[in-house]
């Protein structure tokens, strides 16, 4: 099972202040995605020359009542996988709960034994939806 580290996500309450803080640390914006439908922005920031190790700042346009509680800041670790279905099956066979199944052939979430949320993303294009994943409901939260 080949893995590649993608990013660490943190939720932010004040996007400008957070970006200024990470810039002060020496990180630079490497990409940005504003999602009108979901009403959120994703800003990826990394040290110069280390664009492969970004922090993803997730900003919800309508606010986040959970912030600034420490439990809401850290979001998840993310890894790209060669085959999301095979990876999820291997994890499930080992007793890991698939909190957000890869119904779309692209994304799944699981939790570590320490309750750290892990995002798994399909390398390249999404795989065609297939069972049992396409019909599987979410379990818990991620």
Tens digits of residue pLDDT in 120-139: 999 999 999 999 999 999 99
* CA–CA separation, 117 and 85 (whole Å): 18
| pLDDT tens-digit map of 81-119 | 999 999 999 999 999 999 999 999 999 999 887 687 889
Whole-number pLDDT of residue 101: 98
Whether 8-60 and 77-122 share one fold: the answer is no
Judged by DSSP in three states, 15 sits in helix
In the structure encoding, which two tokens stand for residue 51, read together?
A: 């664009």
**8-60 placed in CATH 3.30.479.30:** no
* CA–CA separation, 78 and 42 (whole Å): 14
| Domain 77-122, CATH | 3.30.720
Residue ranges of domains in the chain: 8-60, 77-122
The owner of tokens 């800041």 is: 73
Positions annotated as catalytic residues are 119
Whole-number pLDDT of residue 70: 61
């Amino acid at each position: 099972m080949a893995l590649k580290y993608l990013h660490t996500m943190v939720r932010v309450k004040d996007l400008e202040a957070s970006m200024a803080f990470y810039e002060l640390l020496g990180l630079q914006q490497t990409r940005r995605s504003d999602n009108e439908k979901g009403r959120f922005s994703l800003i990826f920031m990394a040290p110069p020359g280390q664009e492969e190790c970004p922090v993803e700042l997730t900003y919800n346009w309508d606010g986040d009542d959970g912030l600034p509680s420490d439990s809401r800041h850290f979001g998840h670790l993310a890894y790209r996988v060669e085959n999301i279905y095979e990876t999820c099956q291997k994890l499930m066979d080992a007793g890991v709960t698939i909190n957000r199944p890869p119904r779309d052939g692209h994304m799944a979430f699981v939790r570590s034994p320490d309750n750290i949320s892990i995002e798994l993303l399909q390398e390249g294009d999404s795989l065609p939806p297939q069972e049992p994943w396409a019909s599987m409901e979410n379990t818990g939260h991620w």
